[in-house]
Amino acid sequence: MGYKKEKQKNRTRSFLRQKMCIGMSLAVSIFCYSCGNIAYAAEEDMIRSRGSLVYWEEGVAETGETEAVIYDAADIREIKKYLDLQKEGLLQKLLQLGTTFIWTDTGWQYSRSPEDSSGNTPEGGQIGWDLLFNAILDSQSVPENVAVVEPKISLQIEGIAEYTDFYKTATADSISKGKAAWVEGNLLLGTGADNEKAYEKGKEDGAGGVFRPDMFPVYAANEAEIIIQHKHIGEENETEGILGCYNHYTTKKVQENVCGATLEQTEVTWYPNESEEGGGSWHGGYYTCPAHQGVYENPGTCNHVSKKEVITWHHDLICEKTDFVYAILKITGIDDDYSDRKMKLYAELVEQEGFPELLLPETEGEWLVWSNEQGEVLGTGTEIEVQNVGVYYCKLVVSNEDVEPLEGSVQVVIKGVAY
């Protein structure tokens, strides 16, 4: 009996080891059968027997020795629970990649179309391994004939194929530079070509004021402050009397000039003459001015005096308005509504000490006139709306001749885009 009990214990230990190996083999077999080349590895503590083993041995009979091992169903359930848990993990990753599962007449099926989402998600145990692994292999592809949600606002990029009807599988040029993506099993490194072309196209369109229907320019303008002050007039007018800011008159003065040239001695010459005593006479030898002639007995300078009347014009400033300021014209712009594609330009006329002397139109709304670079009048008053970039002018309308400057300008640019 001692021998039989020891033999039974050895068999029990052997069957327990066999049981564990069978359980592991079953798990590996299920995976290998379902996914073909997919290999599965499990650490020792991932699947562990939770069941109990029943073993007995019948005595020797006419038919021979009989042995039996009964496995507990808890072990099989434990293996299935573990496999369902792995399915659930893969299922959740597929859902994150945009794969959805729909219920059909033939059971659960997967789809890459966002329009096929049924709102119901199966549990891991409801999905077969064949369906799950086929969904994994197809998770990086874009299904054909998947309509764009809003094709009217699809980017149109010159040099890059323009897709407005359907999604297309990504290429290296359509992935941002510095980014990578797996596409149908291949690793693509993004070149950013489409982004670069879109950026350049956006700069070109934005500079020209061209925008997509769903995008709106955001305008900005510099500020200008013009000091309208007094300008002296009349200084060039040579007319006697008070004209403009000046009193015009002349003065006369007799100017005397002494020649001061060095006298030159003439040559001594003998002139014969029989009628004269001594038969002739000597001439020359005296001093004279090369400019005014004259006879000087001694050398020196010419003391001839000439007189000339000189007339001088005078323009005396009599208006007492130096640094006189009439007003300050301030111009600015504000884009407070990004969706109207317009910008408001404002002008403020700040009165100064000379403001009452300005000869302005009777209607205050006509004091300021707005125009563009082409000289076209855009409106009057303290504000206008513009829709294009460029330089805009605001002019103060007065009848005074002694006022400057009368006009200021601001530059309107596009500083951004609102979507």
Indicate if 164 and 253 belong to the same structural domain: no
Of 2-16, 219-233, 398-412, minimum mean pLDDT range = 2-16
pLDDT tens digit string along 279-290?
888 888 889 998
Indicate if 225 and 252 belong to the same structural domain: no
Indicate if 183 and 259 belong to the same structural domain: no
pLDDT at 158: 47
Indicate if 124 and 4 belong to the same structural domain: yes
Indicate if 224 and 347 belong to the same structural domain: yes
Closest CA to 307 of 348, 257, 346, 272: 257
- Beta-strand runs (E) in 190-245: 216-221, 224-230, 241-243
For residue 127, name the pLDDT band (cuts at 50, 70, 90): confident
Indicate if 301 and 411 belong to the same structural domain: no
CA–CA dist 94, 136 (Å, integer): 7
Identify whether 42 is part of a domain: yes
Domain termination site, one of 281, 296, 317: 317
Identify whether 146 is part of a domain: no
For residue 63, name the pLDDT band (cuts at 50, 70, 90): low
pLDDT tens digit string along 314-347?
888 888 888 899 999 999 999 988 888 889 999 9
- Percentage of the chain beyond pLDDT 70 is 72
Mean pLDDT of 17-32: 38
Domain range enclosing 282:
241-317
Whether the per-residue pLDDT at 244 is higher than 80: the answer is: yes
- Where is pLDDT greater, at 146 or 212? 212
pLDDT at 146: 57
CA–CA dist 290, 138 (Å, integer): 119
Identify whether 139 is part of a domain: no
Identify whether 142 is part of a domain: no
Indicate if 390 and 333 belong to the same structural domain: yes
Whether the per-residue pLDDT at 292 is higher than 50: the answer is: yes
